[in-house]
Structure 1
């Protein structure tokens, strides 16, 4: 386990794969930590350098005073990659991680040469929707939302398996203030104009049973970037890397090969 001290926040991160390989950076979703990618990494090509981190207020990273802005989350990713001397990475972001990917690519094209926008959008939900969730977390903790979140995160079939408990536990054990803080960051983000300015290889990935970021939203977002590609994973919800890791890894591998990252 490693900690990057960025001044106002300390980020927990880990590096796997080939230390000298082309870097692939992973940013996970609201309410999860870097273990989100555990099933996918062993299925990816050898020779790559995999960097994962817990965003602020999540996992083993520190929890600065909430609320957060998307600008702060983008700066966190930027600071971590600068600290690790990473250039020209492929950045894989899921949900809020996909928003971070969009913001970072616009701000620092020297850091990002390709993006995978998984189960995300240029804008997700409405300010009123996020206010209701933040209020609920502040009043009753994440537990008060947990069952509804599981329905949005996972397909009906997956919700019938014992593994659901792992992800429900991961969700409710995140710091409530961190969850609410990142919810505020999503609420205040509209990247339609800025994402439409991007000119780099992009892949969108969606789950056909995603109750948080439906396939049409993901497709609409990646279509803002000329030449982008889109892949729909069936029998999967908001976290297809958990439900269908083989197909997720195959789509990611194909993309990395097409853009010359492998």
Structure 2
């Protein structure tokens, strides 16, 4: 494991693949860590420099006190990529990771040459919804909402699989301050204006059974960006890279062949 001081926060990050290869950066969803991508990476083309990181308050990264703003999370990613000397990467972000990707591409187009927006949107939910979730977590911990979150994350078929236990544990072991901090960041973010102005290749991916960011929401954001592509993975929920890594990797590989020179 490696830790970089980025924007004043110690971020846990990992590099796989070819250190001299084309950079592809993966950013995780709320309540997960970089293991979110474990099943997809072996299915990607050889010759890529793959960077993953735990955003603040998640995984093995520092957990500053809540609340956070989306600008903080974007600045963390920006500082990490600058510190690693990355330029013109393909940035793959899922859920809040996709919001970070949108913000980073708008602020630093030199860092992001192409963008994958997975199960995300320019605006996700409203402030009242997020406040209700925060209040419930402050009262009863993440455990109080864990079963409901699993139902939003996964299709009914996956909910009966033994692997569900590991994902539920990943969620409930997320630091409360980190989870609540990122809830605040999402609640306060509306990226519609800056996302509409993006002019880079974009692939948007949705899961047909996603209860957190339904396909129509993801497509609505894709439609803001001229020339973007939109794809739906059938039978998968909010984390299609977990439920159907082969289908997910197939979409990524087609995009990477065009934009990552592999």
Shift of 1:65: 1.4
Q: Do the aligned partners of 1:90 and 1:261 also contact (CA within 8 Å) in 2? A: no
Matches within 5 A, 1:25-36: 25-36=25-36
Aligned-residue CA RMSD in angstroms?
0.7
Number of residue pairs matched by the alignment:
262
Q: CA deviation at 1:256?
A: 1.1
Q: CA deviation at 1:261?
A: 3.3
Deviations 1:191-213 (A, max 9, x none): 11110000000000000000000
How far apart in 2 are the matches of 1:2 and 1:221?
Answer: 34
- Aligned-pair CA distance for 1:258: 2.1
Quote the offset at 1:260 in angstroms.
4.6
The superposition leaves residues 92-149 of structure 1 with CA deviations (integer Å, 9 ceiling, x where unpaired) of 0000000000000000000000000000000000100000111111111100110000
Summarize the alignment of residues 119-198 of structure 1 with structure 2, pairs less than 5 Å apart: 119-198=119-198
2:96 corresponds in structure 1 to 96
Q: How does 1:55-74 map to 2 (within 5 A)?
A: 55-74=55-74
Matches within 5 A, 1:75-90: 75-90=75-90
1:245 corresponding residue in structure 2:
245
* 1:5 alignment partner in structure 2: 5
Change over 3 Å in CA distance of 1:260–1:163 after alignment to 2: closer
Q: Report SS of the residue matched to 2:157.
A: helix
Offset, 1:7? 5.1
Counterparts of 2:261 and 2:252, CA distance in 1: 11
- Unpaired runs of 5+ residues, structure 1, are none
Give the TM-score, by structure 1 length.
Answer: 0.99
Q: Give SS of 1:206's match.
A: strand
Contact 2:6–2:77 under 8 Å retained in 1: no
Q: Give secondary structure in 2 for the equivalent of 1:156.
A: coil
Mind listing any 5+ residue stretches in structure 2 that lack a counterpart? none
Q: Per the alignment, do residues 22 and 260 of structure 1 end up closer, same or farther by CA in structure 2, a change over 3 Å counting?
A: closer
Match of 1:234 in 2: 234
Kept in 2, the 8 Å contact 1:40–1:249? The answer is yes
Alpha-carbon distance between aligned partners in 1 of 2:7 and 2:239, rounded to the nearest angstrom: 31
Distance 2:103 2:261 in 1: 21
